Structure 1
Amino acid sequence: MENILYKGGVGEITEKKSRFIATVLKVTSESEAQAEINRLKKQYWDARHNCYAYVIGNAGEITRCSDDGEPSGTAGRPILDIITRANVQDCLVVVTRYFGGTLLGTGGLVRAYSQATQAGLAASVICSKSHGVFLDISCDYSSIGKIQYITSQMDIPVLDTVYGECVITKLIVPLDAKDAFVKKVNNETAASALMDFHDEADYIIVDGQALTF
């Protein structure tokens, strides 16, 4: 399952008096990533290093990383490895280092840049992306409680509920749960609920609400 960076964040660690500040940003192109990298380099102009990595594309088609003067493989690659393990797409992480006067060694640098990246991701809002199909269910008032129970039990996102002569519930149903959901609704309502499926879409859950795109 892919993860979406919904909102970036900033995390910081200190290692032997060196400050490592990880800035996490959502980017959708290399030009956008480079513009953000340049902006942060200007913001942290007095820092010793601004190392970075980014992953762009639904399948991570574009990946880049930079040690920005740190020993080869001690900064950019560890940052990229953490992003890749988290399976986050369209994500840029820039780790700014203010040197504290003590050399950390190769292993120490790898650990510090990895931990800073983890702190940045922990300060961000990352959501799992699902693929579903829009569904309108029309039912009578005696059945709505059963449908609400099923949606709650199966974690089916409810987009809206309209109360009129009948009750219309608008949902997005994960494709891998579609057959099981239809079966449960038919069983619980004696097949009296009318189900109208529409287009498919990707979605994430943020603060209990489904956001589609």
Structure 2
Amino acid sequence: MQGYRTLLGTAVGEYEEKHSRFIAEIKPVSNEEEALAFIKEQKSKYWDARHNVYAYRLLGDECRFSDDGEPHGTAGKPVLDIITGRQLSNVCIVVTRYFGGILLGTGGLVRAYSEAARNAVDNATIAEMGLIDKFSLHCDYQQYNRLLPFFAKYDVNINDTVFLEDVIINFALSNEKSESFLLALTDNFAGKISAQKEGQIFAPVNIIKNNID
């Protein structure tokens, strides 16, 4: 997996139809445990509501949803469809409904839950997560001065530098650039400097303030 879309924080969206109020809250989650904890939290927060519908999607396309008493297929699945339609992963949406006294019918429920969830996503800050490789290397001080402009060319992010008898640099860069970077490092420094890979993480590589695309 090279990347995925998720949230940088929570967001809220609302929708009202025939006096029924729908409050959608969306939150990033890392696993099912976090998703279930968020659902429990929202149900406690809106304990007096008629329904607390939810849907979540994790990496690997692991999905789960609940209509929470609404007619089958009118609530949880439409919310999940908003998540998958926006290509989001590791997110959970809970849509709370305060009943307004008028039945909405199947089509009305699907529309209302979809719109509430869509509004929450539109209000969220979306992050495109990319795979980042982490490295460390040792060099002398003369090599260090040459490395800095070389790092800038490859958009290397220096996380930590330790100045001792030699210089130790801990840095990270996009997985897509790692191979060409390592080859260029060998060529530019005649094989006298080598970087050791320390691991991989996912990190934001692009921020979308309004995910309405």
> What's the TM-score bracket when you normalise by the shorter of the two chains?
0.7 to 0.9
Check conservation: 1:151, 1:157, Cα contact below 8 A.
no
Aligned to 1:199: 198
Q: Provide structure 2 residue ranges, at least 5 long, that are not aligned to the other structure.
A: 208-213
Question: Aligned to 1:7, what secondary structure does the other structure show?
Answer: coil
Question: Aligned to 1:88, what secondary structure does the other structure show?
Answer: coil
Letter in 1 for 2:130: S
Letter in 2 for 1:59: G
Check conservation: 2:154, 2:177, Cα contact below 8 A.
no
Aligned to 2:47: 45
Determine if the alignment matches structure 1 residue 96 to structure 2 residue 96: yes
Aligned to 2:21: 19
Aligned to 1:147: 150
Aligned to 2:67: 67
Change (3 A) 1:107 1:147: farther
Alpha-carbon separation, structure 1, partners of 2:162 and 2:153 = 18
Question: Aligned to 2:61, what secondary structure does the other structure show?
Answer: coil
Check conservation: 2:132, 2:203, Cα contact below 8 A.
no
Aligned to 2:160: 160
Per the TM alignment, residue 126 of structure 1 is displaced from its structure 2 partner at its CA by 4.2
Alpha-carbon separation, structure 2, partners of 1:75 and 1:46 = 18
Farther-moved stretch of structure 1 (109-118 vs 9-18): 9-18
Question: Aligned to 2:154, what secondary structure does the other structure show?
Answer: helix
Alpha-carbon separation, structure 2, partners of 1:191 and 1:103 = 75
Check conservation: 1:3, 1:89, Cα contact below 8 A.
yes
Aligned to 1:28: 31
For residues 158-197 of structure 1, what are the alpha-carbon distances to aligned partners after superposition, in whole Å with 9 as ceiling and x for unaligned?
323445676654222333321222344456x454772322
CA RMSD of aligned residues (A): 3.3
Letter in 1 for 2:196: F
Give TM-score scaled by structure 1 length. 0.73
Aligned to 2:211: none
Change (3 A) 1:206 1:179: closer
Change (3 A) 1:207 1:178: closer
Letter in 2 for 1:199: E
Alpha-carbon separation, structure 2, partners of 1:158 and 1:141 = 12
Give TM-score scaled by structure 2 length. 0.73
Q: Provide structure 1 residue ranges, at least 5 long, that are not aligned to the other structure.
A: 209-213
Aligned to 2:210: none
Per the TM alignment, residue 204 of structure 1 is displaced from its structure 2 partner at its CA by 1.0
Alpha-carbon separation, structure 2, partners of 1:93 and 1:151 = 38
